[in-house]
Chains A and B, each alone.
Chain A
Amino acid sequence: MDLFIEIISSILILIGAGFMGIASIGMLRLPDFYIRMSAITKAATLGTGLIILGIVIYFNDLVIAGKGFVIFTFTILTSPVAAHIISRAATRKGVPFWGKTDVKEFEGYLKKYRRVELEKEDIY
């Protein structure tokens, strides 16, 4: 039974670590800030959740399960909110889109909040 638990939890932790690695590769390789953002929020959240699930299964204890649940809930609540805030600020700042992104339905917002003529003068 012990061996069975160890096998299951190690498989879960390895899958989670793989997802974290995929998220980091996407962070480095993807072409555009907004696309990178989508890659990170999904893959990193899933990776953290899988790793913590594996650890909770390994310890087999109620207190650890509660703490793991807290970590997972915070990650799943805060990571989409943080991603939304950051990409909203980036849109208003004028971070450019990828050439192939379709922004037709988005044009009204961009005209209202984004000063295109200021893109060259970079504050940061």
Chain B
Amino acid sequence: MTLFEISLIIAITIISLGILLAIIRLIMGPFLPDRVTAFDLISANVIAIIAIFAVLSGSYQYFDVAVLLSLIIFFGAVSFTYHMNKVIKKRNEKLDEQLEESEYKDKLFQ
């Protein structure tokens, strides 16, 4: 084992510890955006691990996986926020209806 391989293994260890920390945030994150961000960070770390593993194993076909992952992650975040925006819009419309009803009731009871 050369010095270069040892340094690569150290780098993989650091990044794996980072994934562990991000998983803790993924579990305890108080809101959905926290979880989406934690997942983003995890996938960035996975990209880095795959790229380093391509060097360690000496076969650079693994590099294509990193290219694909870096594309897919973005679509994941975008679809999550699309869903969130839909839910928020529905909630706001419901709130508007409730406000209108309550004003109407106030006028009735006066």
Chain A residues near B (Cβ < 8 Å) = 6, 9-10, 13-14, 16-18, 20-21, 23-25, 27-28, 33, 36-37, 40, 44-45, 47-48, 51-52, 55, 58-59, 61, 64, 67-68, 70-71, 74-75, 78-79, 81-83, 85-90, 92-93, 95, 115, 118, 123-124
Contact with A along B61-99 (1 / 0, CB 8 A): 001101100110110011011001101100110010000
| Partner among A10, A74, A90 whose Cβ is within 8 Å of the Cβ of B7 | A10
CB of B48 within 8 A of CB of A89, answer no
9 A-B pairs closest in CB distance: A24-B18, A17-B11, A78-B74, A90-B33, A82-B77, A10-B7, A24-B21, A124-B32, A17-B14
CB of A51 within 8 A of CB of B48, answer yes
| Partner among B7, B51, B81, B91 whose Cβ is within 8 Å of the Cβ of A123 | B91
CB distance from A9 to the nearest CB of B (A): 8
| Partner among B4, B54, B80 whose Cβ is within 8 Å of the Cβ of A6 | B4
Chain A residues contacting B34 (CB-CB under 8 Å) are 33, 36
Chain B interface category by residue count: 35 or more
Q: A28 vs B22: C-alpha distance in the bound complex, in angstroms?
A: 7
CB of A13 within 8 A of CB of B92, answer no
Q: A83 vs B54: C-alpha distance in the bound complex, in angstroms?
A: 28
| Partner among A14, A55, A93 whose Cβ is within 8 Å of the Cβ of B51 | A55
CB distance from A58 to the nearest CB of B (A): 6
A-B contact pairs, 7 of them (CB 8 A): A6-B3, A16-B48, A27-B22, A48-B47, A52-B51, A89-B88, A123-B91
